[in-house]
Amino acid sequence: MSDVLTLPLPDDMHLHLRDGAMLEAVAPISAQRFGRAIIMPNLVPPVVTGAQALAYRDRILAAIGPDTGFTPLMTLYLTETTEPEDVAQAAADGLIHAVKLYPAGATTNSASGVRDFDKVRGVLERMAAIGLPLCVHGEVTDPEVDIFDREAVFIERVLDPIRQATPGLRVVMEHVTTAEGIAYIANSPADLAGTITTHHLILNRNHLLVGGIRPHYYCLPVAKRERHREALVAAATGGDPRYFLGTDSAPHLDAAKETGCGCAGCFTALNTLECLAQVFDAAGALDHLAGFATGHGAAFYGLSAPSGQVVLERRAEAAVWPAKLDTGAGPVTVFDPGFPVFWHRV
């Protein structure tokens, strides 16, 4: 196996860039490492109209500066008052590439999400008609459901009924974390795909909880048992085009993570590709990394092949990254995989 790996410039099909000072700090990092990214709309207030998506895209482009070549692929936040024709017009105008479904209360800034799914049926039917993908945060929020079971219950109670009631709807089950989620995608038609994060390929719930709570490993959906992580690795490294990279890189200030009620999210944008190369190398699947990191997602979203390339080199010494990213609002901790990574960007 060669110690040099040349890959198409990767796409990040699930990315949080935030706004304000945080956007100014984190957007250039993703722009240096990815060619395109599906941008999450859960700002405060959320991005719910085409005009808001356009304004947010302009702020992103201003933050990354000219001549980077990075393309932010915008999305709209689905609410119970979203109008089908507004979504269709934003898609026709090229302003959006997907709509994001957050069950209300499921994760960061999801209070405006959906509680009554019958109220968004008209939007979903219009999306199915025009082929616009729905990206879903796949967890129920019923307090009686154990947090480690919320993805599997979401599939049964919410996702499968939506798909059965809306034939042809293209769905991305984002940040899949369970063997049940992987199996559901594997046994579904090609209009269902799933993103897998870098950190869920690396972490199980022991990493989060054993020996003390590690707030910078806390994310939603929360990391699960080791058998689930193994299922994610098998899916990501197996070459199946229904699975592709969505980092869900979600920066929070350390002060918001290291507190009595810490925010959910891992900031992985800085070192995702190197960590992925280590995971795929350990699985003997480096030949499938290009598809997972670029090809599969681009095909599902109907995007052209990327024009750029990135070169990785395996070295004897481990890669080193800064532990913190300084922002105008305070420090953000960079994801630590917890093992040495020997792949370096050249």
Q: Which amino acids are annotated catalytic?
A: 248
Length of the chain: 346
Peptide bond between residue 221 and the one before it cis (omega within 30 degrees of 0): yes
Q: Are strands 11-15 and 4-8 parallel, antiparallel or unpaired?
A: unpaired
Distances 201 to 49, 133, 173, 337 between C-alpha atoms, Å: 34, 24, 16, 10
Q: Find, among 131, 206, 118, the residue nearest to 162 by Cα.
A: 118
* φ, ψ dihedrals at 194, nearest 5°: -140, 140
CA atoms within 13 A on the CB side of 61: 13
Q: Find, among 247, 191, 245, the residue nearest to 26 by Cα.
A: 247
* φ, ψ dihedrals at 79, nearest 5°: -125, 170
Does the CA dihedral 148-150-151-153 come out positive or negative? positive
* Angstrom distance (rounded) from CA 193 to CA 244: 8
* Sequence letter at residue 135: C
